[in-house]
Structure 1
Amino acid sequence: MIKIGIIDDEVLFSNGLKEILEREKNFEVFQVYKHPDELLQQWQQSPLRPDVLLMDIKMPKINGIELTKMLAEKSPDVKIIGLSSHYSKVLIFKMLKLGAAAYIPKNVSIDRLVRTINNVYEQGFYFEDIALKSFYNKTLRQKDEKELFNHGLTNREMDILMLICEQLTNQEIADKLFISLKTVENHRTNLFAKINAKNVVGAVLFALEHKLIDHSII
């Protein structure tokens, strides 16, 4: 059962989304929050967290960008999916860089919404629309290939980065490389620290920025 949280200042939208999600057998709506202050207060009082948090990007006082940064540092295990009724490449890129696992527009189909939540829960990230391709094309024009050699990644860390981008789990990576799960976890921790990645999305974006992978494999 995937526990899902929803935070959006539009109550009608949140309630409608809650009803849709509760129709899915493997979804449980953990909590609906009206604003960031409510979420932060409840999370401070209780250790319970949703597995996936659907978050509106544009909210008063604390917007989705700022809240993503805060939650990625305090509750990194919660996978954040950005929601917005206004498509903005800048906002999407910021949110992904700060730790969000995916982005979907508010007018998305139910099938795509369900697919995104399931993939984010299982793989840690999910990219489907043109946002990633736009990011890829933009960053390739800005980055110098020489930057790749300044991060000091070992061959094993490079192997693991490539397999992360192929959406393999830690156990699948361990099986493929014939190493223990603990070894994979240690390499992954070191890798993320070196490339300053908060989560899987950050690792994938790093690989795209430095021409290690082509966007077509994702």
Structure 2
Amino acid sequence: MIRVLLVDDQRLVRAGLRMLVEATSDLVVVGEAADGVGAVRAVAQCAPDLVVMDLRMPGMDGVEATRCIAGVGDGPKVLVLTTFDDDEHLYPALAAGASGYLVKDTEPEALLSAIRRVMEGELLFSPSLLRRLVQRAVETPAETPTAAVDLTPREADVLDLVGEGLSNGEIAARLHLGVTTVKKHLVALMDKTGCDNRVRLAVFAVRRTR
């Protein structure tokens, strides 16, 4: 069971998120907070596995709260859920230690999937943000050329779709595979390419085709 803390200054948003999370069998809401100070306090009191964190809140904002929470070695993971999709908010949140960044127009099922995937160790972004991060990285000259790797045809297909910013579920649907099979391919791809997260793997995929 994944223990989730909800942090948002809008009570209605928190209520909607609680209903969504508690409709599942593997997630449970263990607490709520309306600002950053409350979030830090709630983490100490509720011991969540993951914090769904808003950014713009009164007093201590979500970035500073993320820095306080993620800075603890055995602390929970932080998944940002915000209305802001600009670099001014994205990069400070990532620098503070967030494990994912989603915008609030994310589909409900995609949010639940994101919570599970972050807990599995993925670095997760909304597709539009991932594409922007990849494009920016690709436009920056690499210090060393992208190395050639020996991929199976199916691994190459999966890699190309990662480069397009597709999620595991979308890749599975596109290639008519199970999600578990896609995950196995991703593990193999990261091992072969030396990429330690999805963003780097996506950058590798795009540079490989240029």
Is TM (by shorter chain) over 0.5? yes
Sort the Cα spacing of 1:118 and 1:43 in 2 relative to 1 into closer, same or farther, 3 A: closer
1:53 to 51, 54, 66: 51
Aligned-residue offset at 1:33: 0.9
* TM-score after normalising by structure 2: 0.66
Unaligned runs of 5+ in 2: 147-161, 163-181
2:143 to 129, 135, 145: 145
Query: Which structure's relative contact order is higher, taking Cα pairs within 8 Å and 6+ residues apart?
Result: 1
Q: Which residue of 2 aligns with 1:152?
A: none
2:197 to 186, 198, 204: 204
| Cα distance per residue 1:84-106 (max 9 Å; x no partner) | 12322331232123311111111
Q: Which residue of 2 aligns with 1:15?
A: 15
Q: Which residue of 2 aligns with 1:72?
A: 70
Sort the Cα spacing of 1:96 and 1:33 in 2 relative to 1 into closer, same or farther, 3 A: same
Provide the aligned C-alpha RMSD in A: 3.5
Q: Which residue of 2 aligns with 1:214?
A: 205
Aligned-residue offset at 1:70: 1.7
Sort the Cα spacing of 1:128 and 1:27 in 2 relative to 1 into closer, same or farther, 3 A: same
- Whether contact under 8 Å (1:133, 1:215) holds in the other structure is no
Matched residues, number = 169
The one-letter amino acid paired with 2:16 is G
Unaligned runs of 5+ in 1: 149-164, 178-199
Sort the Cα spacing of 1:56 and 1:112 in 2 relative to 1 into closer, same or farther, 3 A: same
Q: Which residue of 2 aligns with 1:107?
A: 105
Distance 1:205 1:111 in 2: 20
After the TM superposition, which parts of structure 1 deviate over 6 Å for at least 4 consecutive aligned residues?
A: 165-168
* TM-score after normalising by structure 1: 0.64
2:124 counterpart SS class: coil
- Whether contact under 8 Å (1:132, 1:215) holds in the other structure is no
